[in-house]
Structure 1
Amino acid sequence: KYSKQKLEKQVKNIQDAESEMDELVISFTEVQDMSMLADKQIEYYCQKKDQMELAVEVEAQLGIDRYKTADMTSVKAPGALSREQQASEQPDYAEYKISAHDELQINVYGEPDLTKTARVSVDGSMSYPLLGKIKVEGLSAQELEEKLSQLFIEGGYIVNPQVSVYVERFSSVSILGEVRNPGSYELKGRLSIMDAIAQAGGFNINADINNVKILRIDRGQQRTIPIKLGDIKKGMEGVEIALKPNDTIFVEKIGKVTVLGEVTRPGTFELKDKITVLEAIAMAGGFTDIASINSTRIIRVDPSSKKKVLRVCVTDVISRGKKEKDLELLPGDIIYVPESFF
């Protein structure tokens, strides 16, 4: 009997030990799972942190401090504005000057036939009943009210006119290319290029800030105005240009060139500015010892998708000083340096 009781006790001890071991195994498995989850979360947030830091660094160079002051409680859909932003975006009607393509709502108290919507034409005028063509560009809403009242009185149409004017729809500019929210935006008074790009959400990470164009219709002809926004940041005079109604801003993507063959570090490099063949090869670490430098080639595809191969004699550039043979590169160019067999 004693032996049986002792045996049963030992069996129970073993069962208890097995139960504790099972609990430890479960706990260890949970810890492993939690550890793996934590590792994934850490990896995810590290990636997000790296992306955020990169975005901050890029936009800091452009003078945009978007992320430093970001508040996650204010996150909203692209293009949506907070009430405070909407209030700040509203024009000051006392100061706003009417411009071409604005749409005006004009009300004349007690005269329903004279209450109408008028659109400002390209030449800055509008057509109005009884008064004909009137120059309105450059006037504030209040100044136009006074002008219309005076014209009604002088023409003998209304003895004591009560006129109200407000801008129902503003002229617009288009912002396209490498910006976060491309589209059409109202032109409320004087608007600079940087202000317009800020309205479009700022630059994308691939934006080439030194390759921005304003497309403008001037006297029926389209003009292209190239802008280097890097010069604006430096405060160079004559660079910042006020936008006009129907202007289109186009932000180009950073161009890239590829350097292959017998160079130290073959790869793809960004064209942040104009560079030549030898400058690109220097970015790739220079020629290797077995490079056939005078057989260097540029492979270029023109807008019609036709491939062209240009040969560069490096000796002419380096030894003979013929800098004109150090060709300027275009986005998409491929430089190939073959191996020398001698």
Structure 2
Amino acid sequence: MNYKKQILVILYATFHFCVLMGLTSCAAKQDLRPGEKDAAFVALADTQIVIEANQNTRGLPMYRLGFGDEIEVKVFNHPEFNEQTIIRPDGRIALEKAGEIVAIGRTPHQIDSLITKRYSRFLRRPQVTVLVRKFGVKQFYILGEVKNPGVYELYDGMTVLRAIASAGGNTGYAQMNSIILMRNEFYRNPIVMRMNLTNLPKDPNPVRDRLLIANDIIYIPRTYIGELNGFIERFVSKLIAPPLDLYLRTILYTRILN
């Protein structure tokens, strides 16, 4: 139990270290919630796309702002309040008139409402529009028993199993029935999930595999036999001749399996 707690503490610290160092950022598809009054504009490359509020977007996930996203705030008939800002590594934006606002994990519509409320102190019925001008880079982290652990770019449709493949596959000592996925989707308390991906390619129901979102951390622990083998390699093999070393491994593995 203490071993599992140590793993979770390490993952939690790793996540926040990456955030504070500005290594993580988030990007996803722009979407609107049904019933919004104003149109939203998304600048993608050099083309501006207008998404009308009356379009049928039911069932589609709403885009939530991430690290490194560049947003523009416009106030109708009050250009002196217009600003353009980037979401900082701490998840906040700073506006001259509205102060600091936690933007990470919120939709543009929610930021619109927060800014409108603050500008109501200075203006009468302010009409605020929040535009996402540029998306940050989406990344995820994979640690533990994979051949190439590290930071990888997150593409649409990336799952835990595909992430493992992107990292060169798992090692021979990967504990695939106890994979840990840590997620901090709304920049509050992290969500830690334990996954069992053994025999998943043969499973006709892929519900056990999960889609990744930006800044997810995947940790694949080492099996008990892997830990034991590492112990033998580090300590026992230095004291015992190779034939006896192999004999000792065989005895220990047989007892474990039985």
TM-score normalised to the size of structure 2? 0.45
Q: Which structure would you say has the larger RCO, counting Cα contacts within 8 Å and 6 or more residues apart?
A: 2
Larger radius of gyration: 1
Normalising by structure 1, report the TM-score.
Answer: 0.37
